[in-house]
Amino acid sequence: MATNFRIAAHRNSENLHLKLMGDFDGSSACELLDAIRTQSQHSSRIFIHTNSLKAIEPFGLDVFQTHFDLLKGKSIELVFTGEKATTLAPERSSLFDLSISTIPEAASSHI
């Protein structure tokens, strides 16, 4: 369990921003999936900011990318931003009713 992992959340308008900090492992993946699932009720778009992630462990990445069934029935757009956006975002562009995209690091500094 990555004891240094944290998620800072803030909302503006209909968007939810989740800033990931620390090391991303299996527990972190479950925590992020739960945050998306529980906090998506009032958000049409969720930005997942990855610039403050230190390391992404392969097991954590596998847990995150293979458990999107937890989000089944949610009609939201997930936007991954920052240095590790393309690493963390699932490769499949559309899962269930989810829309998934990435914003390159240089462009994400303007958000």
If one compares 44 and 70, the residue with the highest pLDDT of the two is 44
Which DSSP category does 100 fall into? E
The CATH number assigned to the domain holding 26 equals: 3.30.750.24
CA distance 106 to 23: 22
**Number of CB atoms found within 10 A of residue 103's CB:** 19
pTM for this prediction? 0.83
Residue 1 placed within a domain: no
Contacts of residue 3, Cβ cutoff 8 Å, sequence gap at least 6: none
What pLDDT, on the 0 to 100 scale, is given for residue 75?
75
Q: Quick one: what percent of the chain has pLDDT higher than 90?
A: 51
Answer whether residue 90 shows pLDDT above 60: yes
Residue 10 placed within a domain: yes
Number of domains in the chain: 1
Cα torsion angle, 38, 65, 84, 82, sign: negative
103: β partners: 81
